[in-house]
Structure 1
């Protein structure tokens, strides 16, 4: 019997349903079970796909493209992969990670909700602490280096970027990485961060629900809202700092304000 392309002998499609993928990601710590890379593919282990009649989350693992190639090219056995699945790398370290590509000729464009920043070294800061920042290349022809810290609405870290290396956390409810997007959820339908990159020129935050101290920051694809104040269609170009929220460098209107702000800053997410 001739098999239909994309289906096995049981009529099972290679397309894994989204809810099954999520269960697999959660069990595997959201990254490659072998090396902890945040870029993943899905591999049927036991049974293998050609023998599977259903997409069983317990029989599928997450592997990065390199580790996956070692399996499909027969350099690694499925038995070895099953051993790695017993103690996934990301659950051991608590993180998954990978790198952004910003080998650009000029400062990458940063868009957060309805606000775009070009040629700006610190697009947004809260209490003088950058939410996201850009440093020039260390050497000629090197990449611009983006760093940043993102939290959820309770101040718990969701994503950290250190000189283009992004780091997500395996204790999240869900971390989904694909097609240039990083989506972090705190629960079903509750997206606290959606980041989209277009290498090597831009990074966009299309969804954000975040709190630093008493500052609430929310973003959709078109709007940035900070403590209830909306920003739409703004462009900051050639600024050292784009948006500075509650800067401690400015004189306080009340003599008690600066110490209070410093205390709250200390409580903000690291």
Structure 2
């Protein structure tokens, strides 16, 4: 005889569930600047303070909920942090004062694997560059037995910076429409249902950019784990590859208004003025690579 197991849902003495509606959480995140109101850390818990959850009688009100990092949340629940202090910081969140929230990625001292959409990079210092400017890069630490250091500047489809990574420390602007850290994922939206960036951590060896949609220097890049890697260049050329692997070399993907190179090898160019790729090539494997070019008549 099978037994139906009823999922328990914690409620307080007034019958109010602890589960906060998604729309309420989003309002709280924006008001608090997407981080702990006391220290600005981007890892947080939702904390009822006015009233405390035990005394909540009707429904979850955004103005009575704030964000606290695990440390300050523990201090609050254990009585080492007063409600009055939480109210004071909630009125002036640290993240809004700083203009950003931050946390650290955990990357191994050995060479980690970075996956961008369906593209895998290993031992490649510059993963992607636009017009000779690195967008995502990985460098060895100057100290022995220290982790590799990832740096990146990621933008949305309007060209605005949504997240920066500086030597494994990621920083998200409080000007974003929404920035949600849930489990191993960072999700940034520019509008309801419009996801611009998803990053998933798999410490200590892997970091996955599940989704990127960005525009910079006239180059549009969009990718996700289960779709082709697509680029549109200012000259009308489009570049698409279903998946790929790049190991070693100096530059993984190079894109400019004059051409495209993968693993240091020029694949497509428009003019002899294309700067020579004086970089050490690496090993590359590409699946279902395709180009389209609306300016073929200008190609030399």
Q: Give the TM-score normalised by the residue count of structure 1.
A: 0.88
- The separation in 1 between residues aligned to 2:139 and 2:114, in whole angstroms, is 13
Displacement of 1:116: 0.9
**Which structure 2 residues correspond to residues 124-139 of structure 1 after superposition, within 5 A?**
124-139=128-143
Unaligned runs of 5+ in 1: 259-270
Q: Could you say what secondary structure the match of 1:23 adopts?
A: helix
Displacement of 1:138: 2.1
Displacement of 1:5: 5.9
Query: 1:87 is matched with which residue: 80, 89, 92?
Result: 92
State the match for 1:230 in structure 2. Answer: 240
State the match for 1:12 in structure 2. Answer: 16
More helix by share: 1
- The separation in 2 between residues aligned to 1:178 and 1:137, in whole angstroms, is 28
State the match for 1:33 in structure 2. Answer: 37
Say if 2:185 and 2:199, in contact at 8 Å, map to a contact too: yes
State the match for 1:46 in structure 2. Answer: 50
- The separation in 1 between residues aligned to 2:229 and 2:9, in whole angstroms, is 45
State the match for 2:25 in structure 1. Answer: 21
State the match for 1:243 in structure 2. Answer: 253
Figure out how many residues of one structure are paired with residues of the other and give that number. 253
- The separation in 1 between residues aligned to 2:258 and 2:90, in whole angstroms, is 48
- The separation in 2 between residues aligned to 1:102 and 1:230, in whole angstroms, is 29
Say if 2:229 and 2:243, in contact at 8 Å, map to a contact too: no
State the match for 1:60 in structure 2. Answer: 65
Q: Does 1:166 align with 2:170?
A: yes
Q: Could you say what secondary structure the match of 1:85 adopts?
A: helix
Displacement of 1:252: 8.2
The CA deviation string for residues 126-154 of structure 1, in whole angstroms up to 9 with x for no partner, is: 11111111111222211111000100111
- The separation in 1 between residues aligned to 2:129 and 2:175, in whole angstroms, is 26
Say if 1:120 and 1:242, in contact at 8 Å, map to a contact too: yes
Q: List structure 1 segments (4+ residues) > 3 angstroms apart after TM superposition.
A: 247-252
Larger Rg: 2
Say if 2:36 and 2:94, in contact at 8 Å, map to a contact too: yes
Q: Give the TM-score normalised by the residue count of structure 2.
A: 0.80
For CA contacts below 8 A with separation 6 or more, give which structure has more relative contact order.
1
- The separation in 2 between residues aligned to 1:39 and 1:8, in whole angstroms, is 25
- The separation in 1 between residues aligned to 2:149 and 2:20, in whole angstroms, is 36
Q: Could you say what secondary structure the match of 1:203 adopts?
A: strand
Unaligned runs of 5+ in 2: 1-7, 233-237, 260-265, 276-300
Q: Does 1:188 align with 2:206?
A: no
